[in-house]
Structure 1
Amino acid sequence: MPMQKEQISVFNMFKIGIGPSSSHTLGPWRAAQQFVALLQQRQVVELVVQVKILLYGSLAKTGKGHGTDIAILLGLSGDDPVTFDVTQINPKVDKIKRDHQLILGNHQPISFYFDDDLMFLFNESLPFHPNAVTFQAFLSDGKAVSETYYSIGGGFVVRENETSDASHEVDLPFPIDTAADLLHWCRKTGLKISEVVMENEMAWRSEDEAKSKILDIFNTIKECIYRGCHTTGYLPGGLNVGRRAAALNKKLIGNRPYGNFDEWVAAIRETGDSFKNILDWVSCFALAVNEENASFGRVVTAPTNGAAGVIPAVLQYYLVFCEGYTDAKIIQFMFTASEIGSIFKKGATISAAMGGCQAEIGVSSAMAAAALTECLGGSQRQAMMAAEIAMEHHLGLTCDPIGGLVQVPCIERNTMGAIKAITASQLALQTNPDNAKVSLDAVVKTMWQTAQDMNSKYKETSDGGLAINIPLSLPEC
């Protein structure tokens, strides 16, 4: 069964974090923080003398490539992925390994031996979800505290015997579990999808706060795109994958001068709006984000880290080549996208470990397609049709990362997802939704059925597909 229905805020779907994976990096990081908070709540932190971490299923099989071990050490240390200086990740982790000491919650020094205290249980899985981690804290009085957490995709974390990681329940004016629910409220009120989302969001926070927070999210996206388009070198992890966004940016921009993000955008517009040029820029934007993600950079889950480049690429395409930058359009785009992602999470999954890459790139493409369609003037039904088209043509997409790294084929898949989102939007805008044969709810249901039928070796385990057919020593093409 899909995860239990829940109330999902825009800011549950879009989270600021650190790459390379929302389910294998951000989720375990948050789980470690939650475990420390539990120890603090029980007032036993100062009694802790040892902590052991047990990684199960997909977290064990691809955890090292995804930085699960690194994230957990930082989370236990009391660091936060929203604010932690990414340039200090390696130095801090190296110090923990070298000194055999971890400062639990930035307060309690404990001995920590990486090879003994952090265990990758490659052949063990827990039934609730493939991404499971158990923390065991041993106390000086001979007692122990043990808790298991599940990283269920998109940075969402649930504790054993809990039901969800959603925001505190509130009275939503427009409760939505399915696309049919969303369409019902749109028809009844005449509101756009983004306007329905805003009304619901105000059950958690004021309109001004919601708008401010989403613009903060966008600023992180903007900075990520810009960094990625101006950073050269090779990605970490041993595959020797070279960064391509910076070279492509330089080739496309030519000799046009710029000194900051806004000037860069103006220079991009000067490159023209030919079909080929726009395709190149969309690919450049997507590559930039996911190269940053693969390098433990700061990104936004959209709805996951592995698919973090699709929505930024499509949004940047819209803002640069269609309408120009306005706060109102950015908010409209992000709010519409979040609701589509929420519907997939409630009716299926956004975790590649549960559903393959269709659950990540497919969902992000559907989110972007709907958002673009509404922003371009499409009706509510056309926006949902665009989401359906985008997902329909990602059904069955497997997750088979080479070397357990979020690099090949993950980075290029973001470019494909972005282009499919734009194509889906254009098709929907040119189509009468009365003639649609497949509903968004039908494709959500189909995606979940496909996920259940998919062999586990294609679900972020690196046990099948490209992950076993491409030699790790293969030189980069």
Structure 2
Amino acid sequence: MSVSVFDLFKIGIGPSSSHTVGPMRAARRFAAELTADDTLTRVRRVKAELFGSLGATGHGHGSVGAVLGGLEGEDPETVDTTASPARTAEIRQTHRLRLDGRHEIDFDVDEDLVLHRRRSLPFHPNGMTFTAYAADDVLVERTYYSIGGGFVLDDDGSGHPVLQPDPTPVPFPFRTGTELLIHCANTGLSISEIALANESARRPEADVRAGLLRIWRVMVECVENGCTTTGVLPGGLKVRRRAPELHQRVLDEVGPFGSGTATQNSGDVIDRIDPLAAMDWVTLWALAVNEENASGGRVVTAPTNGAAGIIPAVLHYAVRFVPGMGDDDIIRFLLVAASLGSIYQQTASISGAEVGCQGEVGTACSMAAGALAEILGGTPEQVENAAEIGMEHHLGLTCDPVGGLVQIPCIERNAVASVKAITAARLALHGDGAHTVSLDKVIKTMMETGADMKTKYKETARGGLAVNIVEC
């Protein structure tokens, strides 16, 4: 089996894939099931309960609005991101909700949507239960798990539900990095060619290419929005959006995309081009995406929302600074990144609530590093090496969002990881692909490290920076 690129990269809504996208999908699935079973019109009340990390940081991660939107039939890819906050406020004020968009019921947000801050379900920290009632009688009760990246599992009663990849037979199934490299060695194909062959078994190749370029366009739009939208991010921390100011400063100091056309730097004349000017652009692009995400804007989950700025930033770097890059290279980049991400999704975790931020930012850095290595001419072995480097130097990274918001340290963390991905790719390309620690070994280590990590460091806002910063 292998996970589709369109499962790893999903167009959605900020600020969190596990806390916003996942709950919206789960709530929507529950409401749709009520309609499909002809139960909808009998429902008089619905109760939604969020557990574990969802309960602990759901308010700061937009989970309340996501659940309400999902119960009304909204989808993360198409929901109006500008209208959602107003609709949430309206439901809270009127105590009326349109279940599946067609059946109006009483709904008291404070009573019927419960965030359990200290209770968890046994399988995964991002668990949620929805119950539909006819008067006091339970009609339907369902439990779901948001396992990161917008993926949602139904509780099948086994106690350990598993992700079911697309069942379509593909020519080159893989779960591990070793299996992927074996396919490359046996066929002489690159990782992107292996991935394209698998995707083309699911849908026409032309549709694959068009779909990937659409994902890229959304990434570009997200960067553009982040570079032009000013103000303060929502949530109470009063974090100022820095991307627009940085955008103008970089333009003034080094010119468009590092061209060196301007000569002013904080009032002092410079007579040479800053050799690290490209990194300023990379930082800007990552900040722009994650500020959009933090404000609840439209983003591409890549592979999560908390790490959504890394792949767009590194791909922007390739398009803007590497000569000769075009649509084919963009497609190859996304195919390789998704192939690497699918290994993490199938053999480990991309959930900050389960393994800490190493599973989010670390995975995205690994994906971006490997993808960049291929489009810069790397062999499959060098790509695997780049991906391994990207994760190796994120091992142990905690998820400690201040105020339960995807802002501090999440936004800057994406910028730093984007630069680190470029470094990892370039380091791997200076080698021959041979290295001591394999990608599979570092992924196994990441999962073990996450299991050993205390719960307070895994998206609960009860440890680390979340409790140690001094608020003014």
Aligned pair 1:43/2:38, yes or no? yes
Question: Which residue type is aligned with residue 111 of structure 1?
Answer: D
Check conservation: 1:333, 1:371, Cα contact below 8 A.
Answer: yes
Cα 1:456–1:255 change in 2 (3 A) is closer
Residue from 222, 230, 233 that aligns with 1:232: 230
Q: How far off is 1:161 after superposition?
A: 1.4
Q: How far off is 1:164 after superposition?
A: 3.9
Check conservation: 1:224, 1:298, Cα contact below 8 A.
Answer: yes
Aligned pair 1:191/2:189, yes or no? yes
CA deviation vs aligned residue, 1:133-187 (integer Å, no higher than 9, x gap): 1000002594421000000000000010173454430111111010000000000
CA deviation vs aligned residue, 1:250-271 (integer Å, no higher than 9, x gap): 0111299xxxxxxxxx933534
Structure 2: gaps spanning 5 or more residues: 262-272
Q: Please give the alpha-carbon distance, in whole angstroms, between the structure 2 residues aligned to 1:25 and 1:79.
A: 12
Residue from 101, 111, 114 that aligns with 1:106: 101
Q: CA RMSD in A?
A: 1.5
Question: Which residue type is aligned with residue 448 of structure 1?
Answer: M
Question: Which residue type is aligned with residue 460 of structure 2?
Answer: T
Check conservation: 1:302, 1:364, Cα contact below 8 A.
Answer: yes
> Could you say which residue in structure 1 is the equivalent of 2:18?
23
> Could you say which residue in structure 1 is the equivalent of 2:266?
none
Stretch of structure 1 that moved more, 417-426 or 324-333: 324-333
CA deviation vs aligned residue, 1:221-261 (integer Å, no higher than 9, x gap): 000001101111110000000011110000111299xxxxx
Cα 1:403–1:195 change in 2 (3 A) is same
> Could you say which residue in structure 1 is the equivalent of 2:215?
217
> Could you say which residue in structure 2 is the equivalent of 1:3?
none
Could you tell me the TM-score, scaled by structure 1's length? 0.94
Aligned pair 1:270/2:272, yes or no? no
Aligned pair 1:299/2:299, yes or no? yes
Q: Please give the alpha-carbon distance, in whole angstroms, between the structure 2 residues aligned to 1:24 and 1:94.
A: 19
Q: What secondary structure does 1:412 align onto?
A: helix
Aligned pair 1:116/2:115, yes or no? no
Aligned pair 1:86/2:78, yes or no? no
Q: Please give the alpha-carbon distance, in whole angstroms, between the structure 2 residues aligned to 1:112 and 1:141.
A: 15
CA deviation vs aligned residue, 1:106-148 (integer Å, no higher than 9, x gap): 1000000011001111121111100001000002594421000
Question: Which residue type is aligned with residue 357 of structure 1?
Answer: C
Q: Please give the alpha-carbon distance, in whole angstroms, between the structure 1 residues aligned to 2:210 and 2:170.
A: 21
Aligned pair 1:249/2:247, yes or no? yes
Check conservation: 1:47, 1:141, Cα contact below 8 A.
Answer: no
Q: What secondary structure does 2:59 align onto?
A: helix
How many residue pairs match? The answer is 458
Matches within 5 A, 1:360-371: 360-371=360-371
Q: What secondary structure does 1:128 align onto?
A: coil
Check conservation: 2:53, 2:353, Cα contact below 8 A.
Answer: yes
Q: What secondary structure does 1:275 align onto?
A: coil
Residue from 171, 174, 191 that aligns with 2:172: 174
> Could you say which residue in structure 2 is the equivalent of 1:284?
284
Q: What secondary structure does 2:228 align onto?
A: coil
Cα 1:165–1:344 change in 2 (3 A) is closer
CA deviation vs aligned residue, 1:163-218 (integer Å, no higher than 9, x gap): 34544301111110100000000000111101100111112111011111111111
Check conservation: 1:7, 1:166, Cα contact below 8 A.
Answer: no
Q: Please give the alpha-carbon distance, in whole angstroms, between the structure 2 residues aligned to 1:323 and 1:9.
A: 29
Q: Please give the alpha-carbon distance, in whole angstroms, between the structure 2 residues aligned to 1:271 and 1:22.
A: 38
Question: Which residue type is aligned with residue 194 of structure 2?
Answer: V
Check conservation: 1:353, 1:461, Cα contact below 8 A.
Answer: yes
Q: Please give the alpha-carbon distance, in whole angstroms, between the structure 1 residues aligned to 2:95 and 2:250.
A: 48
Question: Which residue type is aligned with residue 47 of structure 1?
Answer: R
Stretch of structure 1 that moved more, 165-174 or 401-410: 165-174
> Could you say which residue in structure 2 is the equivalent of 1:432?
432
Check conservation: 1:31, 1:157, Cα contact below 8 A.
Answer: yes
Residue from 8, 14, 18 that aligns with 1:13: 8
Cα 1:109–1:271 change in 2 (3 A) is farther
Q: Please give the alpha-carbon distance, in whole angstroms, between the structure 2 residues aligned to 1:33 and 1:426.
A: 43
Check conservation: 1:350, 1:363, Cα contact below 8 A.
Answer: yes
> Could you say which residue in structure 2 is the equivalent of 1:263?
none
Q: What secondary structure does 1:433 align onto?
A: coil
Identity of aligned residues (%): 50
Q: How far off is 1:378 after superposition?
A: 0.6
Stretch of structure 1 that moved more, 23-32 or 73-82: 73-82
Q: Please give the alpha-carbon distance, in whole angstroms, between the structure 1 residues aligned to 2:188 and 2:260.
A: 39
Aligned pair 1:130/2:125, yes or no? yes
Q: Please give the alpha-carbon distance, in whole angstroms, between the structure 2 residues aligned to 1:469 and 1:269.
A: 38
Could you tell me the TM-score, scaled by structure 2's length? 0.95
CA deviation vs aligned residue, 1:280-330 (integer Å, no higher than 9, x gap): 111000000000000000000110000000000000001000135511011
Check conservation: 2:226, 2:243, Cα contact below 8 A.
Answer: yes
CA deviation vs aligned residue, 1:348-371 (integer Å, no higher than 9, x gap): 100000100000000000000000
CA deviation vs aligned residue, 1:76-127 (integer Å, no higher than 9, x gap): 0111221122110111111101110000011000000011001111121111
Residue from 135, 142, 159 that aligns with 2:154: 159
CA deviation vs aligned residue, 1:390-447 (integer Å, no higher than 9, x gap): 100000000000000000000000011101100000100001223x111111101111
Q: What secondary structure does 2:76 align onto?
A: coil
Check conservation: 1:253, 1:271, Cα contact below 8 A.
Answer: no
Q: What secondary structure does 1:71 align onto?
A: helix
Structure 1: gaps spanning 5 or more residues: 1-5, 257-265
Check conservation: 2:246, 2:284, Cα contact below 8 A.
Answer: yes
Cα 1:395–1:470 change in 2 (3 A) is same
Q: What secondary structure does 2:119 align onto?
A: coil
Question: Which residue type is aligned with residue 349 of structure 2?
Answer: T
Check conservation: 1:269, 1:320, Cα contact below 8 A.
Answer: no
Question: Which residue type is aligned with residue 407 of structure 1?
Answer: Q
